[in-house]
Amino acid sequence: MLRPRLFRAVPVLAFLTAACAPDGGPDAASEPEMLAARPADVSPLFEPLPTEVAAPDDNPTTPERVDLGHRLFFEPKLSRSGVISCNTCHVVGAAGIDGRSVAIGEGAREGPRNSPTVYNAAFLSAQFWDGRAPTLEEQAKGPIQAHVEMDLTPDEAMARLADTGYGPLFEAAFPEEAEPLTFDNLARAIAAFERTLITPGAPFDRYLSGEGDALSELQRQGLGIFQDRGCIGCHNGVLLGGNGFAGFSHVVGSDDQGRAEVTGDSADRYMFRIAPLRNVAMTAPYFHDGSAATLRDAVEIMGRVQLRQEFTEPEVDALVAFLESLTGEFPLIAHPRLPRTAGGM
């Protein structure tokens, strides 16, 4: 699995050497030792974030596909104006978001929802707030075609890439195909790149692996509240969320019907994908509509609306501190050199 170079999002973050040592290496810990090292106060519902994600059989991760997907992710010619790229709404240098309440696309048109982070999206069971795309490959096709986002047809997008000189890059990425320059392959390449956008090494992961001082006392208090007061009921697993749907009564009465717009089932009204909490301290504003400006706001609203309880100010302090421990190490993603002459690079 390809892994780009990492930088520290917070200076004190570091990988736990024992957890990352090669199998059989001098620093490697046996599985029983690692299991024994897990703190007793941590629910088994939590899982550490892996350092890589498996690729589907029909889209293996290769250097050529990742390179092509990297360029396509930054390619503004995939928008009608030639200004907007995937990176416009999912800024890889800003935790994978744009910092807006809702996305802005072609013609300054506002989308209906907040742009979720692209980091660790490979671990989601479904993409978009309403789960309408089951895979990264399917997700990659949506924004390019959406009128409110990039506003191109597949044929227009591929004609632009052909004219710009992407042909050799598609041939290198899909050497087994007679016609590699296709919209499906565009989506496969972007997905291959996105599978490298993983942020391991968070203090919480180190704590899970037995590094007892990886969390501060306040963060451990927040972890206890998170588990005892019910947050863990939805926010668990590798991403602490992201793999299910829940009703969000905070927005009852809004025009956005949530998952019901996908399923047509009235029972899914105001159901949205449960937000993953990895790197949540860096991805404000919050919720599908961006209506919570700060992490404190989000914690207070979730306690009141979803859990039917009021957190005290010290409890909010502790919960926010715990959520800050979920910030991992981000891959350093440079702006790529984009093809700009027909037939060349």
The catalytic residues are 149
Q: 62-81: buried (b, 16+ CB within 10 Å) or exposed (e) per residue?
A: bebbbbbbbbbbbbebbbbe
Q: In the numeric block, which tokens belong to residue 305?
A: 């609306």
Q: In the numeric block, which tokens belong to residue 70?
A: 């990297």
Tell which residue, 293, 298, 259, has the closest CA to residue 277: 298
Coil, strand or helix at 237: strand
In order of 17, 226, 231, the CA distances from 28 in angstroms are: 8, 31, 33
Coil, strand or helix at 265: coil
Rounded distance between C-alpha atoms, residue 330 and residue 198, angstroms: 7
Q: In the numeric block, which tokens belong to residue 177?
A: 């195909």
Q: Are 115 and 143 in contact (CB under 8 A)?
A: no
